[in-house]
Amino acid sequence: MEAKWGVVVVAAGRGTRMGTSESKQYLLLGNKPILVHTLELFESMAEIAEIVVVTGSGEIGRCRELAEQYGLHKVRHVVAGGSERQHSVYKGIAALGNRADWVMVHDAVRPFVTSEAVRACCSAAEQHGAAVLAVPVKDTIKQVNEAGIITATPDRSRLWAIQTPQAFRRELLAEAHEQAAAASFVGTDDAMVVERMGVPVAVAAGDYTNIKITTPDDLPYAEFLLSQRDRREAAE
């Protein structure tokens, strides 16, 4: 299978909500940093031509050492991020080589995304030009005003919780970021900067286990998910 995808893994956040001096992407999950678990998934996929890690300026050497230590040969570049996640992603896109016509953006602290889900997202992007992984919301969602009063109850059947990776034709995502920068627009995810161009973004069904490890409460569940995954792999 032709390797035509580049992956930008965003690992520049400080993770203040985790309440640790260590950035959350470097916390150990099992016996490896969370970031390594994430990178190993993309390393193993034939579709992936290269990986760019975007991190803090003081962590570039550390990420390169981790890539060497764990044999992550597809990590071709480690670059410093910007002041906002959006700026970090744009730096990552710019660092990709010429082999990747398509690009995925993924959070470093989502180590449980599966290859099947990634491929589903890629397939949807190749069909539509842009796609995101997502899951239907389970809870009823309320819209609330500044006074804390409910103003609306959206139809839950049409609400999806968005995950990563988010996948795009590379030229499209680069143009979207350039236009956003020119307009001083900062979106909450990459799909948002593409949407503002009027480009439709497809949804590919993800998994509820594709959690983002953000707070201390997430760590015990992450350890449980890791043990479940290890058990499945041992049985195969």
Per-position DSSP letters for 158-182, written without gaps between them: G-EEEEEEEEEEHHHHHHHHHHHHH
pLDDT at 48: 96
Q: How many CA atoms lie within 13 A of 145 on its CB side?
A: 5
The whole-number average pLDDT for the span 28-53 is: 96
User: Given a cut of 60, is residue 19 above it in pLDDT?
Assistant: no
User: Given a cut of 80, is residue 18 above it in pLDDT?
Assistant: no
Question: Using CB atoms within 10 A of its CB, is residue 231 exposed (0-12), middle (13-18) or buried (19+)?
Answer: exposed
User: Given a cut of 60, is residue 165 above it in pLDDT?
Assistant: yes
The whole-number average pLDDT for the span 44-60 is: 96
Rounded Cα distance, 206 and 190, in Å: 17
User: Given a cut of 60, is residue 1 above it in pLDDT?
Assistant: no
Name the token pair of 188. Answer: 């909450």
Rounded Cα distance, 190 and 177, in Å: 8
What are 116-142's pLDDT values in tens digits? 999 999 999 999 999 999 999 999 999
- Delimit the domains of the chain by residue range: 5-134+161-235
Q: Which amino acid is at 63?
A: C
pLDDT band at 236 (very low <50, low <70, confident <90, very high): confident
Name the token pair of 234. Answer: 């041992």
Rounded Cα distance, 231 and 213, in Å: 21
The reply to whether CATH 3.90.550.10 applies to domain 5-134+161-235 is: yes
Q: Which amino acid is at 75?
A: V
